[in-house]
Chains A and B, each alone.
Chain A
Amino acid sequence: MKLLEFLKRERKKSASVAKERLQIIVAHQRSQRGQPDYMPMLERELLEVIRRYVHVGDDAIQISLDSEDNCSVLELNVTLPKSERD
């Protein structure tokens, strides 16, 4: 029975894998559009500073800049590991 299922299972077409990967990466790229050029550098340096005090992974920090009419808000989210929260 297992063998039959294995034989019947169709290999996922590579083009649909490509499409899914592209949709994710393009959405990510677009979220960064219009941001100032210094943002990746700022993100890296903030991560370095945080790491002097807490051990966090590369994806522990999320940074975004939103502009409204007359001010910009820099939003910084850092996920700290459970053991180091105190």
Chain B
Amino acid sequence: MAKIIVVTSGKGGVGKTTSAAAIATGLALRGKKTVVIDFDVGLRNLDLIMGCERRVVYDLVNVIQGEAGLNQALIRDKRVENLFILPASQTRDKDALTQEGVEEILDTLKETFDYILCDSPAGIERGAQLAMYYADEAIVVTNPEVSSVRDSDRILGLLSSKTRRAVQGDDPIKEHLLVTRYNPERVTQGDMLTLDDIREILAIDLLGLIPESEAVLRASNQGVPVTHDADSDAGQAYTDTVSRLLGEDVPLRFHEWQKKGLLSRMFGGGRR
């Protein structure tokens, strides 16, 4: 039975699309048949992060409006087997998405996929609510920063009231916290919220911690999800995150600041 997971945050620019691409890639690398859907109609970007922007022919809205079949719109990832991308439309207005249309697409995808990741747009408007409506689980992406944490709490409120599971009184959506852009050095200096602060305020289970990393920009520049950069801290942190999503018990890494010693300062201590 397929799992539908929404990647959401409320605030924009915290790393939703980066995380959706990285986690989808990680799941596919673990052999799970995975599709990642861009719900950001009008501002699609998942295709760029996944490096398939030149192969977009049809999109989510085309499928909903019956102008293309689902299989015509799905883009097969070039690097990993079992990974597919369903891009958002770039031109149409947001009302082009309908709840019935989304449900139909998800129901069809459920028959063949193990994991369906929904990359939510920022905000709490219609697009974001549609992305979360049918979800079984939610990954709430949060930066250690006041506006991001506050918006994440607002999203948690919506997840517990405006989703199908909430409306129908089913088991509630499983909520996971993913902290991104974490800078242990600034935390040590007392100028960044600690992981424990964020966990205490939001009070949901921690799925992963992604350190602020040069590898993320490098990955998006190249259109290769950062999970493929297995030497990088962010790549490893996403791999850990995927393992935890699959129910494995993986210890946390990259949350403590290691002061650089003389040698590593002289010769550079590995890639970041």
Q: A residues touching B (Cβ–Cβ < 8 Å)?
A: 13-16, 18-19, 21-23, 25-26, 29-30, 33-34
Contacts and interface: CB of A to CB of B under 8 A. Distances in A.
B183 to A, nearest CB: 11
Contact of A15 (B153, B161, B190, B201): B190
A25 B153 CA distance: 10
Interface in B187-232: 187, 189-194, 197, 201-202
A23 B201 contact: yes
A15 B146 contact: no
A16 B192 CA distance: 8
B48 to A, nearest CB: 32
Interface residues of B, number: 19
13 contacts: A15-B187, A15-B190, A15-B194, A18-B197, A23-B201, A25-B150, A26-B149, A29-B150, A29-B157, A30-B157, A33-B161, A34-B157, A34-B161
A15 B150 contact: no
A13 B186 CA distance: 11
Contacts of B94: none
B164 interface: no
A15 B160 CA distance: 29
A30 B153 contact: yes
Given A22-B149, A26-B153, A33-B157, A16 B201 contact: no
Nearest to A11: B190
A16 B197 CA distance: 9
Contacts of B153: 26, 29-30
B154 A15 contact: no
A15 B202 CA distance: 16
A29 B154 contact: yes
A13 B153 CA distance: 23
Given A15-B192, A22-B201, A33-B157, 19 more contacts: A13-B189, A13-B190, A15-B187, A15-B190, A15-B193, A15-B197, A16-B190, A18-B146, A19-B193, A22-B193, A22-B197, A23-B201, A26-B150, A26-B201, A30-B153, A30-B157, A33-B161, A34-B157, A34-B161
A22 to B, nearest CB: 5
Given A13-B191, A14-B191, A30-B157, A19 B197 contact: yes
- Please indicate which of the listed interface residues A13, A21, A26 has the most CB atoms of chain B within 10 Å of its own CB: A26
A18 B193 contact: yes
A25 B201 CA distance: 10
Nearest to B202: A26
A29 B155 CA distance: 11
